[in-house]
Amino acid sequence: MDLSYSPEELAFRDEVRGWLAANLPKDIRDKVVGYQHLSRDDYIRWHKILAAKGWSVPHWPAEWGGTGWDVTRRYIFNEEFGLAGAPALPAFGPNMCASVLLRFGTPAQKERFLPRIRDGEDFWVQGYSEPGSGSDLASLKTRAERRGDHYLVNGQKIWTTLGQYGDWIFCLVRTDPTLAKKQEGISFLLIDMKTPGITVRPLILMDGGHEVNEVFFDDVKVPAENLVFEENKGWTVAKYLLGHERLGSGNVGASKRELKALRAIAARETKNGRPLIEDPRFRDRLTRVEIELQALELTAMRMLDHMRRSGQPPGADASMLKLKGSEITQSITELMMQALGPLAQPFAGVAGGSVDPFDSRLSPRYFNNRKTTIYAGSNEIQRNIIAKMTLGL
């Protein structure tokens, strides 16, 4: 097993690091490190910068605009993004919908949608969760009835991240409610958000931000050509897509950057003249998180080595990255709240107006990060997956 980078891979890392330093817009980076919400224009502008470089979809096949990088270079690329404070492009189009289209889409669907996703022309969002159908996604109730050359969609989706920015939404819908097994009778549809009958309503979270939404479908007419794969076989597509969602959820690079900021905060002299990092209890918690992050990184490297040698995705093992990555993210934010104390207030500018690690949109970020152990499949579900698929229990 090889858990180190080759000289060529290290040179590639330096290339990515140098390009990000020269091309990542400062205002966008400041928003990321200052825990501020990015606008649609921020995402689109950054997407087009990456597309001009040919780096917007590095994991795609070369014939569709991918880079041809192997899995190790893609991992390095993502890690450097997190370290630099560069925002990852919203995964719904480039990672999730595109992965489905590349695997299950018709030639016409690929020609129609993939170039626009690659170039940042369409903003995609995900229509999975519903009221009462979150972790138990197969219990969804949104209906799509076939009417000749189109479907008529009625129902509701909830927690639709960035739905207010969406041009298109990919949805799981129930096309046959009569089948006994709830995973059957589900289909995967691509829906234009400008279609009459779609209503997007904001859900304002504890951090005061408009990040997620309710989406309502009232007699929404969707062309039958927008069905991906086979009717009533959408659960096959959904399982494939969720694997892609969980694989990128370790966030090792971003957690390293956050740990560096946390150490800087904890090393400051407090009113009693003693830095918090000298407190044995705090230092013990900080050290434990650092060790867990190192273990997560080694686990990711082990999976990389397996994928390099086998050419196969990690499968159920990706649940380990999601589980530990989300817990580490929460732990770092909790320690930052403790380190900043009264400065961890729900507004920016408390340290004088500039965006730096001591400014605090930290309380909103703390509240927002409560969700990390729930989305992409709750951590309880991830433990069940690991027990069944990896440990054979």
Confidence of residue 182 (pLDDT cuts 50, 70, 90): confident
Q: Give percent above pLDDT 90 in the chain.
A: 63
- Residue 183 in tokens: 């995973």
- Residue 191 in tokens: 């829906």
Between CA 240 and CA 105 the distance in angstroms is 13
Question: Which residue pairs, CB below 8 angstroms and at least 24 apart, start in 15-23?
Answer: 16/76, 16/77, 16/80, 17/80, 17/83, 17/84, 19/53, 20/80, 20/81, 20/84, 20/86, 21/84, 23/49, 23/53
- Residue 158 in tokens: 């909830």
For the cut 60, the answer to whether the pLDDT of residue 248 exceeds it is no
**CB distance 15 to 73 below 8 Å:** no
Q: What average pLDDT does range 205-229 have in this prediction?
A: 93
Give residue 350's pLDDT: 40
Structural domains in the chain plus CATH codes: 7-91 (no CATH), 124-233 (2.40.110.10), 248-390 (1.20.140.10)
Give residue 5's pLDDT: 85
Q: Letter for the amino acid at 137?
A: L
Helix H or strand E encompassing 220 = strand 210-223
Between CA 365 and CA 373 the distance in angstroms is 14
Query: Which tens digit of pLDDT belongs to each residue from 266-285?
Result: 998 666 778 999 999 999 99
Between CA 319 and CA 323 the distance in angstroms is 6
Of the given ranges (178-182, 246-250, 354-358), which has the lowest mean pLDDT? 354-358
Q: Where is mean pLDDT largest: 113-117, 242-246, 250-254, 315-319?
A: 113-117
Between CA 306 and CA 302 the distance in angstroms is 6
Between CA 65 and CA 31 the distance in angstroms is 29
Give residue 358's pLDDT: 45
Confidence of residue 378 (pLDDT cuts 50, 70, 90): confident
Between CA 201 and CA 188 the distance in angstroms is 23
Select from 308, 298, 323, 172 the least CA-distant residue to 247: 323
Select from 258, 246, 367, 230 the least CA-distant residue to 300: 246
Q: What is the pTM of this model?
A: 0.87
Active site residues: 245
Give residue 243's pLDDT: 59
Which residues have CB under 8 Å from 352's CB, separation 6+?
Answer: none
Q: Kindly list the distances between the CA atom of residue 143 and the CA atoms of 131, 151, 152, 184, in Å, as whole numbers in the listed order.
A: 14, 9, 8, 13
For the cut 80, the answer to whether the pLDDT of residue 352 exceeds it is no
What does the DSSP assignment read for 1-35?
A: ---S--HHHHHHHHHHHHHHHHHS-HHHHHHHHTT
Q: Where is mean pLDDT largest: 105-109, 251-255, 343-347, 358-362?
A: 105-109
Q: Which DSSP letter does residue 150 get?
A: E
Query: Which tens digit of pLDDT belongs to each residue from 27-76?
Result: 999 999 888 889 999 999 999 999 999 999 999 999 999 999 988 898 89
Give residue 240's pLDDT: 84
Give residue 313's pLDDT: 64
Q: Kindly list the distances between the CA atom of residue 97 and the CA atoms of 57, 126, 241, 244, 338, in Å, as whole numbers in the listed order.
A: 12, 9, 8, 10, 39
Confidence of residue 315 (pLDDT cuts 50, 70, 90): low
